[in-house]
Amino acid sequence: MKKMLVLFLSIIILGIPKSVSAQQKVPILIYHSIDEFNGIGSKELYVTPENFEKQMTYLRDHGYTLLTFERWQDIKKVPKPIFITLDDGYKNNLNAYSIFQKLTSENFRPAGTFFVISDFIGRANRLTKSDLKILANSGFISIQSHTATHPDLTKEENLKYELKESKEKIQQITGKPVIALAYPYGNTNEHVVAETKKYYLYGLTTTPGPFSMTGFRNELYYLPRIYIKYSTTLDDFEKEVKVN
């Protein structure tokens, strides 16, 4: 009986394709400013337009598929899925949009997600309502929420305003669904996640590393992201995105 059991288990184990046991890893990249560093703020939060274009060209030339969160279910259907996210809604993010337009071809369709702070829309150096409408209708950019005022949500009492009101304000501007939230500073906890689930399908942290489906509770509200910085070389970039 024992021999039969061992034989049965051996057949099951050997019969499992290697591809099934291998966990798919999906990079979600995080950017902030796409511009030359002007001496204001943290230099590492800038990526020059030249470097951003080189990075996107690398993705194009190496067969990556750029997705937004509206297409999350496609991560198992497309070759080399990757997400490009930009936080804070800076005006210079229009440089990323221009580069996407420039690199578009029959075989490569760039896409990215801009996480904007709803109460900062239209401020100096921030995207305007008009910008957001153009971007949302471009087919390249998804506009999602980075809260209303960018607080640390783990210390915030008025979560409804930060989560619900920001979502509704952005939707009113773009006319598109807002389904993803980038937590300010990447900070979250169980309470914040519970509130976020009322309004969003995805929550993004700044925990480093690619996403890999593990099945743990609420994992789509603890999505990790990989920082791309001013000092990130093209070799560094290749190592960060080459996860499979």
Whole-number pLDDT of residue 244: 65
CATH topology of domain 25-241: TIM Barrel (3.20.20)
Whole-number pLDDT of residue 238: 98
239 burial level (CB within 10 Å; 0-12, 13-18, 19+): exposed
Task: Find how far residue 185's CA is from the centre of its chain.
Answer: 14
Beta-carbon count within 10 A of 59 CB: 21
Q: What residue ranges do the domains of the chain occupy? A: 25-241
Whole-number pLDDT of residue 32: 98
List the one residue out of 63, 147, 48, 134 whose CA is nearest residue 97.
Answer: 134
186: left (phi over 0), alpha (psi -120 to 50) or beta: left
Whole-number pLDDT of residue 21: 37
Whole-number pLDDT of residue 232: 98
Residues in the chain with pLDDT < 50? Answer: 1-21
Whole-number pLDDT of residue 192: 98
Task: Give the global pTM.
Answer: 0.90
CA distance linking residue 186 with residue 204, whole number of Å: 7
